[in-house]
Amino acid sequence: MLRLITDFDGPIIDVSERYYRVYQFCLEKTRHLDQQVRQLPKAEFWQLKRSRIPEKQIGIISGLDEVQAQEFAQMRRKTVHTEPYFQYDSLAPGAVEALLKIQETGVDLVVMTMRRVWELDYAFKKYDLGRFFPENRCYCLSNDYVKTRDIDDKPLLMARAIEELPPATDIWMVGDTEADMISATKHGIKVIAVECGIRDRAQLEPYQPDLIVKDLSCAVDLVLERSLQQTPWMGNGELN
């Protein structure tokens, strides 16, 4: 059996507008009434995020002082995953078509995400995504889970999935962050990084994914192609 485990935010959902709206809100709330700040254009802000520039530094680049920038960073962390802002998420281009394509082939499709149950349910209902992932193929955090770091929490989800899911002869992971790369490689799973999420290529490469591709559509095509060809996996490849 062929199994594809995919991250949610990045490969399937574009979170850039949510993150940008929270940035705008926190910048406005943190600046002094008469203080001139520079609200970054969305493209510039998102590139800073994808390059893993610290939140505090983004605040300073935007014109806040050190104390304000620290407050800005703390406010951003508390706000970005709150309910009012999830409405700004959108489907990643081509994601639904890619999910349909791989579902039609009978591949065992699993979602693995750092979202909590309610956050995943919200998106499932809004975009009718539950049709791709039955409950026993959804791995996310409980609503009361106390998060530590994604690079620590996500491998725990992967370990649970490996224990609970039926055996598969070929398993692939698709994700857009270091947590996805670490979770897969720790368990000997082939991993494809996508460039459509919250990390750029320079941030993904050090974690040595087997392949780096543009988006979920490219990843699905690659997995299906290799499965049909039954080509022995060589590893350490790269697609542009």
Q: What is the pTM of this model?
A: 0.92
Contact call for residues 222 and 192 (beta carbons, < 8 A)? yes
State how beta strands 108-116 and 2-6 pair. Answer: parallel
CATH ID of 2-14+91-229, from 3.40.630.30, 3.10.20.90, 3.40.50.1000, 3.40.50.620: 3.40.50.1000
pLDDT at 227: 81
Number of residues in the chain: 240
User: How confident is the model at residue 158, as a pLDDT?
Assistant: 96
Residues 37-63: pLDDT tens digits? 999 999 999 999 999 999 999 999 999
Which two structure tokens, joined as six digits, stand for 78? Answer: 């508390």
The burial class, CB within 10 Å (0-12 / 13-18 / 19+), for 121 is: middle
Residue that is written with structure tokens 């490219």 in the block:
218
Cα separation, 114 vs 97, whole angstroms: 23
Low-confidence residues of the chain: pLDDT under 70: 230-240
Neighbours of 219 (CB within 10 A): 28
Name residues whose C-beta falls within 8 Å of residue 109's C-beta, 6 or more positions apart in sequence: 3, 4, 6, 99, 102, 103, 132, 133, 137
What is the pLDDT at residue 230?
60
Model confidence pLDDT, tens digit, residues 100-115: 999 999 999 999 999 9
